[in-house]
Structure 1
């Protein structure tokens, strides 16, 4: 049974830019006989930051791929501001875990300008957009370098800038900081909070890190163990920003999230025929 608590609608930023509202309605995703995601429904407010949590293999990335238009649902509907998602498009920006998505033979500026270039923007507009978003992620001084000359965290910031240069209304992020060291990851989390506020995008963010979800999200949706994964619970995060995960209210939320995910991990292990100590 889903334990859902509604979050307050997110406000648009002072820049006047606005993310799009996303509706996931009764989504089923199958790959042949394998039932990956079952009857998932979520309403994501314009400008909201939603984190998806859950056990490994529960379908978080699969659901994100469906939102991006890369995977067609077997049943149900996906809409962005009321328009059906029928495939990838510039309004839906995807940031992957690996920075290998960058073009190594292009400079940082050329990478970020690639989307505007494909849309037919003038050279001057391409450069202006690239510099604007490189400034947003703090990398304008690296515009003429190549990705191989940057650290892992810097490459991820270039990838975020490249997505934002398309001016998407929804940004989808699949564990974008998962491969980074702990210190760089902390910096990127702080930067992501700032970038989201300035850009005004709606963000759907997949992570395995409970503290990361608490730091970033307006709401956290926990998925059940797969196969046929669904939404187990949805929690609003009412903590003031910037956040401190050592606060008592954060600790209470962390406990509830760990409890929910732990239940699903134990269920998955039992389904695989493994006997747990508590069952003996």
Structure 2
């Protein structure tokens, strides 16, 4: 593969099964001068598996701003480089966008080497509407901020896609039920492409019960997908309840409900006691 024109390659790596690293990705990783990696130890193990030996440059959330210009300087000097994350497609809830932005601003060619992405892989097997979806990545760790974010999404009509960790999966499912309604259809994809891969579907209430009943379903890495608000009326009610929750912090319940109903178009009676 020719690297006569310096290029920054954005290379997707496996999310579990190492066989998912494409031949083209392997060829690019062998051809570049160095590889920018989120965790050099993790990437070193991946490269070793494929017999690839290349210098590694640490590029993560804590140093990306400072490192971006150094990497761009190498690109401008004629070196082609690659950027990878620990798993999946870089920049998707992973570091890399500052480097890509800096490279593009400097006129450097940036080329994708596509491959695995947990969000897309999960959506492809979920059986939920996929013509429109909203990728939210990781929710806030603090419960109050997480609930506020979910309330803002309650009226979204596209399928919602989240990443979640093992130690917060149960709490997040409970908060989703509170924001979207326990009967909202959802799917949990866990440990995709790995030995203990599972894909569970049901209502948010049913999924929470299954996760709480089985310790194994609280281990690993999760993609949670929630069907969007079904119609205009449901979306209005979801928005009305979000507004009511905020207004009720400062106003009497009757006044809060009246204003929320006027602003959202939802029936006033639907905003009480939810």
What is the TM-score with the length of structure 1 in the denominator?
0.27
What is the TM-score with the length of structure 2 in the denominator?
0.28
Answer 1 or 2: which has greater helix percent. Answer: 2
